[in-house]
Structure formats: C-alpha cells, structure tokens
Structure 1
Amino acid sequence: MAQHSFWKGYLKLSLVTCPVAMMPATSEAEKVRFHTLNRATGNRVEGIYVDSGSGKPVEDDDQVRGYERGPDDYVMLEDDELRSVALESTRTIDIEMFAPADSVEWIWYDRPHFLMPDDPVGEEAFAVIREAMAATGTVGLSRLVLYRRERPVMLEPRGRGIVVWTLHYADELRRPEDYFEGIDGDVEPDLVKLVGRLIDRRTRDWDGALVHDPMQDELRALIEAKKKHRRTPKAKKGAEQETPTNVVNIMDALKSSLAAETKGRGKGR
C-alpha cells in the first residue's frame, strides 16, 4: 500500500462502499524549481496582494472573491456562499453512471491518479467494482472535489487497481473541427509510402527514456557549476531564430532523407 496518500475517502456504488486512498499518477518532485530573489540582497521575494486603488497591502481576512460583471464592477462572494454550492461530500467517489470505455475521447482526459483500497476489509468490494467494469468494458463517472475545485472524474480499471482521471468540463474544450476543417486532405500515395518507410526506420519499442527531459540535466549541471564557482556555458546565440528552409519538392526531400538515413545506418555498423 502506498504511504502518505494525498487523498483518502470512500468508493461507493449504490449500497456497496469501501475505504480508498488516492495518489497522483504523475509527479514533478524531481523537477528543478526556482525561487525569485532580490539580486542585491539574495533574499527571496514575497508576493503580496495590494489594493489597485490605494496601493496598500490587503490583509488575508479582507480578501474576498469577486465576479466581474462590468468594468471595475464586481459581485462579491463570501466563502460560506461558495461552500453552499459545492458538493456535500468531498470524501466520497459515488459512481453515478457508467459509459463504454472506448467512448471517452482523449481530449476529455486531464490528470491521472492511482486509486487503491485503504483497508483490507474493503478490498473485496473494491475488487468486485473493478472487475465488473473490466468485464463490461465500461468506465465509471462521478464528481469529486480535487485541487480546490469540483471536477468530473472517470474511473478506469487497470490491473489490480483503478485509475481515476480528472476530466475537462464540456465548456473547457475547443472543437477540433474549428481548426482542422480547412486543412487540405489530399495527398499522393507515393509520398505516403516514402514517409511510411521513414517511420519504419525510426520505430522503436516504447521506453520511458524516450521522453526524458534533457533540459533538467543541463539545469542541474549549471547549478553544480555555480555551486563550485566554475565557468558556466554561454547562452546559445541565434538558436531561437533558426527555422527550417522551405521544402520545394517533397518527393526529392523524402528521397534525400531516406538516402541520408541509409548512409547513417551504414556508418553506425
């Protein structure tokens, strides 16, 4: 069982309930993080809220949320008023309905989380819900307060556990048709075959190392150099202005690409 779960509560389906724990499936703990400092003193810079009219700092107790209904005209909403429209429970994943697993398109997916039973007594109920979804090819749909906001969530069986995906709301999504409809869909079959050959030569088995972030390594090396007062590399000049040259003849460019890759493979042997 994973320790230090960031969320604990209950998984509920009708009258079946079991205690569960949840952890984000992704982490940025290993990322290099920076603070903003005062160059002159080396002290951290702190952010404060100030009144836009008087310029004076506003204490925490005097801060209130506001909805803009016009220029410099706001409706104030107190915390207890906001809580009145929130979910009654922030600790129960009540599965309200199910949907075919393949009917939820990728664009709805937001953040993945691992859900697991939090008590040996509840493992059977958890397993029954999980296996029933797997057997029927469905995912569960519910709502939950996460990251200080009520969110729709989808429960997907995965191995011995369940993956809980936060989903986007419908009004957060843009229609792909608005951006893709004007793209010319006609292509020459011979060009497709040539690109297919390039794809075949560059196809590898999936490995997490394929999405390694090299910039993190460069940042850590830079930080170590600064710690030891070594010379640091200079910024690369003009890199941001580099743009590929226009391809006049796609067929010639693809043939040259294949020839270059064949030559490169020969040298690597």
Structure 2
Amino acid sequence: MHTIWKGSISFGLVNIPIKLHAATEDKDIKLRSLHKECHTPIKYEKICPICEKELAMDEIVKGYEIAKGKFVILEDSELEELKKASEEKAVEIIDFIKMEEIDPIYFNRSYYMSPNEGGLKAYGLLRKALLESNKVGLAKIVMRSKEQLAVLRVFENTLVMETIHYPDEVRKAADVPNVPLENEVTQKEIDTAIMLIDQLTTDFKPEKYTDDYRTQLMNLIESKRTGKELVTPKAKDRTVNVTDLMAALQASIDRTKPVQDKKPPAKRKRSTAAKKAQ
C-alpha cells in the first residue's frame, strides 16, 4: 500500500513513528471531454482575459481577494516559509473523547496508519489503550499546507486517522431554507412510518451495497468497445525535420493503409413528416 505521509503520533511523552496510507479510493469513472468534430481531448489552458495570452507557470502568482477586484499577493517563498513553520510532521493528540460525541457531518477523509521503524511496541500500546478505554484521540496534523483536526481510532486491528472539519467549516443547519419548524403529522402517520422503519431495519453489511450506476456505465463502455464503436483523434499535420524522415515515412504509410472491417454507415430512415411532405 502506497505511503503518502511519514511522521509520528505524539501524546504526552510518547512518540510513535508512523506512515499514512489512503484508506479509501475514488472509483468514479473519469470521462474526457473531446472535440465533437475530430474527437481530440480538449485542453484547459490558463489564459489571461485582459492580455489575451496563455500564461506559463512562472507568470502566475497566488492572491487572496479581500474585496471585489482587490487582491493581496502572496509569494511562493512566503507560503513555503509559513508551511515549514507549521509542519512538524507530527500527529499531536490533544484530547481523548468518546466517538459518539462527534456527529458524522464533521468527518472528511480516512487514512490507515502503520508503524514505522522502531514504532511497533508503542503502536500496539496506543491501539490497546484506545480499545480498552473506549475512547478516540483528537489530534492536529498539517497536511497539504493545511492544519487539520483528526480523530485516531481502531478499525479492524489497525489505527485509522479520520480528518474532520473545523466547526466554522460546517454550514449552519438553521440556514437551510424551507425546513418546517413543527411536525404537522398525526400520531397514526408517525406509528405507520415507524412500523415501516422496523420492517426495513437490518444489520449493516457494507459488502451488499454496490454502485449500480458505475456498473451500468462500465457495461455500456464495454459493449461499445467490443462492438468496435471506437473513435480516435485526427492526427495533427506537422512540418517534418530531415532527421525525422524515416519516422515520417513510416507514419505516412501507416496512415494510408486501408481500414479493415469497416462497416458502411447505416442508412437513416426517412421520417414520417418527410414522407408526407412528398
């Protein structure tokens, strides 16, 4: 499993060398945007709308908008210095709390923690202490130039770090529009709803839940692939140097080869409206 971060867990005078590994993965199917005419992938360029030119990375700076159209410029060196001052490569446990005190809305991402060299015994000690105390550790960590709150807990005999949002990052539920203040339902309706909930109540078995949309999309992609419904971008003509002559000749030969097994385009049926027009 790929290591994405190395550091240590510290609580009191205990220091545990650890490695972080992503506990989850994004399995979204990535679809590229293509030019409809030639099927070439679209480029997303950084263009200044005033100067009307594409910008190189060294022509771009970071800024914070303090008012409409007014920015404070932050140099990369200033941001790097601030990052180094904050980043100690440590997961510092500041409190121990009960897991049920944290609402799930605060949770962000999950990471597995494995012991680094010399950390086996201390790793096992923290794991055992968390299990027997029925507590989780509330910690701070700097990752990706951001200080984050995190929860350390045990999952299937492995320490897991869950990053959580700060309170000011969670929007207020009171700001959600059109939420009724009182229940305008009868007791009979409530009893019926509870009866339905009881009938649908079961043990949570995550393996029985699947992403049906992703499965159907992959089936569609596979059916198009096996049916040879494939497209390729048009080759861009380039001026060829003398040193690339053999490559250019071979490429020209390849481009002029007849396409095999190409089915003629199906004739389009004339619409009823068109027949009536005649």
1:75-154 → structure 2 map (5 Å cutoff): 75-86=72-83, 88-89=86-87, 91-119=89-117, 121-154=118-151
Query: Is the 1:111–1:166 contact (alpha carbons within 8 Å) kept by the matching residues of 2?
Result: yes
Give the AA of the match of 2:15.
T
1:7 is matched with which residue?
Answer: 5
Residue 220 of structure 1 deviates from its aligned partner by 0.9
2:266 is matched with which residue?
Answer: none
Report the 3-state secondary structure (helix = DSSP H, G, I; strand = E; otherwise coil) of the residue aligned with 2:163: strand
Report the 3-state secondary structure (helix = DSSP H, G, I; strand = E; otherwise coil) of the residue aligned with 2:48: coil
Give the AA of the match of 2:225.
K
Structure 2 counterpart of 1:155, from 152, 156, 160: 152
* Cα distance change on mapping 1:143 and 1:52 into 2, 3 Å: farther
Aligned counterparts of 1:203 and 1:14: Cα–Cα separation in 2: 43
Report the 3-state secondary structure (helix = DSSP H, G, I; strand = E; otherwise coil) of the residue aligned with 1:98: strand
Residue 186 of structure 1 deviates from its aligned partner by 5.3
Q: Report whether the alignment pairs 1:225 with 2:230.
A: no
2:63 is matched with which residue?
Answer: 66
RMSD of aligned residue pairs (Cα, Å): 2.4
TM-score by length of structure 1 reads: 0.75
* Cα distance change on mapping 1:210 and 1:196 into 2, 3 Å: farther
Moved more, 167-176 or 137-146: 137-146
Aligned counterparts of 1:80 and 1:146: Cα–Cα separation in 2: 18
Aligned counterparts of 1:187 and 1:99: Cα–Cα separation in 2: 38
Query: Is the 2:86–2:142 contact (alpha carbons within 8 Å) kept by the matching residues of 1?
Result: no
- 1:42-95 CA-to-partner distances (Å, cap 9, x unmatched) read 222221211121121111012111111223221110122123333533522122
Report the 3-state secondary structure (helix = DSSP H, G, I; strand = E; otherwise coil) of the residue aligned with 1:145: strand
Q: Report whether the alignment pairs 1:23 with 2:46.
A: no
* Cα distance change on mapping 1:39 and 1:178 into 2, 3 Å: closer
Give the AA of the match of 1:203.
T
- 1:183-242 CA-to-partner distances (Å, cap 9, x unmatched) read 3235433222222222233233322244311111111111112213379xxxxxxxxxxx
1:266 is matched with which residue?
Answer: none
Q: Report whether the alignment pairs 1:47 with 2:44.
A: yes
Moved more, 209-218 or 55-64: 209-218
* Cα distance change on mapping 1:213 and 1:50 into 2, 3 Å: same
Gaps of 5+ in 1: 232-269
Aligned counterparts of 1:163 and 1:214: Cα–Cα separation in 2: 28
1:236 is matched with which residue?
Answer: none
2:212 is matched with which residue?
Answer: 214
Residue 148 of structure 1 deviates from its aligned partner by 4.5
Gaps of 5+ in 2: 230-278
Aligned counterparts of 2:121 and 2:227: Cα–Cα separation in 1: 58
Aligned counterparts of 1:97 and 1:204: Cα–Cα separation in 2: 34
Decide which structure has the larger Cα Rg and report it.
2
Structure 1 counterpart of 2:199, from 188, 194, 201: 201
- 1:4-30 CA-to-partner distances (Å, cap 9, x unmatched) read 2222222222322222122222111x4
Aligned counterparts of 1:126 and 1:221: Cα–Cα separation in 2: 44
Give the share of equivalent positions with the same residue, in percent: 25
TM-score by length of structure 2 reads: 0.72
Give the AA of the match of 2:116.
D
Query: Is the 1:127–1:160 contact (alpha carbons within 8 Å) kept by the matching residues of 2?
Result: no
